[in-house]
Structure 1
Amino acid sequence: MLWLGHFLWPFLRITGLFLTAPLYGSSMIPSTIKALLAAAFAAALAMWLPNLPPFPGNPFSAIYTGITQIAFGALMGMTMHIVIAAIACAGEIAGLAMGLSFAELQFREAGGPTPVLYDIMLWAGLLGFMAAGGPVWIFAALAHSFAHGVGVAPLSSWGDLAGLGGTLFSAALGLALPVVAVSLCVNLTVGLTTIFAPSINLLSIGFPLLILAGLWVMAASIPAIGPAAEHLTTTGMDALGVLLAHG
Structure 2
Amino acid sequence: MNNMLQFSAGDILNTTAGLLWPFMRIGAMMVAAPVFSASSLPLRVRILLAVLVAWILLPVLPNPPRVDLISGQAFLIGFYQILIGLAMGFMLQLVFAVFIIAGQSIAMAMGLGFASAVDPQNGVQVPVISQFLLIMVTLIFLSLDGHLVFLDLMAESFRLLPVGMMHPPVDQLKALAYWGTYMFSSGLLVALPAVTGLLLVNIAFGVASRAAPQLNIFAVGFPVMIMAGFSLLVLIAPSLTDHFSNILVDALGFIRRLLVI
TM range (shorter): over 0.9
Aligned residue number for residue 4 of structure 1: 16
For residue 193 of structure 1, the aligned residue among 189, 193, 208 is 208
Q: Check the 8 A contact 2:35/2:121 in 1, yes or no.
A: no
Q: 1:40-189 counterparts in 2 under 5 A?
A: 40-57=52-69, 59-147=71-159, 148-150=161-163, 151-189=166-204
Report deviation, 1:178. Answer: 1.3
Matching residue within 223, 228, 238 for 2:243? 228
Structure 2 gaps, min length 5: 1-12
**Would you say 1:14 and 2:26 are equivalent positions?**
yes
Aligned residues: 246
Partner SS for 2:158: coil
Question: In 2, Cα distance between the equivalents of 1:191 and 1:57?
Answer: 70
Q: TM-score, normalised by structure 2?
A: 0.89
Superposition deviation, residue 55 in structure 1? 4.2
Amino acid at match of 2:162: G
What SS class does the counterpart of residue 70 from structure 1 fall into? Answer: helix
User: Unmatched 5+ residue regions in structure 1?
Assistant: none
Q: Deviations over 1:12-71 (max 9, x none)?
A: 001110111121111110001001101111111122212222343552121221122111
CA-to-aligned-CA distance 1:59-84 (integer Å, 9 cap, x gap) = 21212211221111011011111111
Counterparts in 2 of 1:179 and 1:51: CA distance versus 1, 3 Å: same
Distance 1:35 1:51, change over 3 A: same
Does the residue aligned with 1:145 lie in a helix, a strand or coil? helix
Q: What secondary structure sits across from 1:146 in the alignment?
A: helix
Displacement over 4 Å in runs of 4+? none
What is the identity, as a one-letter code, of the residue corresponding to 1:41?
A: V
What residue in structure 2 maps to residue 217 of structure 1?
232
Task: Please say which of residues 66-75 and 122-131 is displaced more in the overlay.
Answer: 122-131
Equivalent residue for 1:27? Answer: 39
Letter in 2 for 1:231: N
Structure ID, larger Rg: 2
- The Cα of 1:192 is off from its aligned counterpart by 1.6
Q: Give the Cα separation in 2 of the matches to 1:52 and 1:171.
A: 39
Distance 1:155 1:134 in 2: 28
What's the offset of the Cα at 1:187? 1.1
TM, length-normalised to structure 1: 0.94
**Match for 2:142: what amino acid?**
M
Amino acid in the other structure paired with 1:223: P
Structure 2: distance between partners of 1:11 and 1:97: 45
Question: What value does the CA root-mean-square deviation take over the aligned residues?
Answer: 1.6
Among the aligned pairs, what percent are the same residue? 30
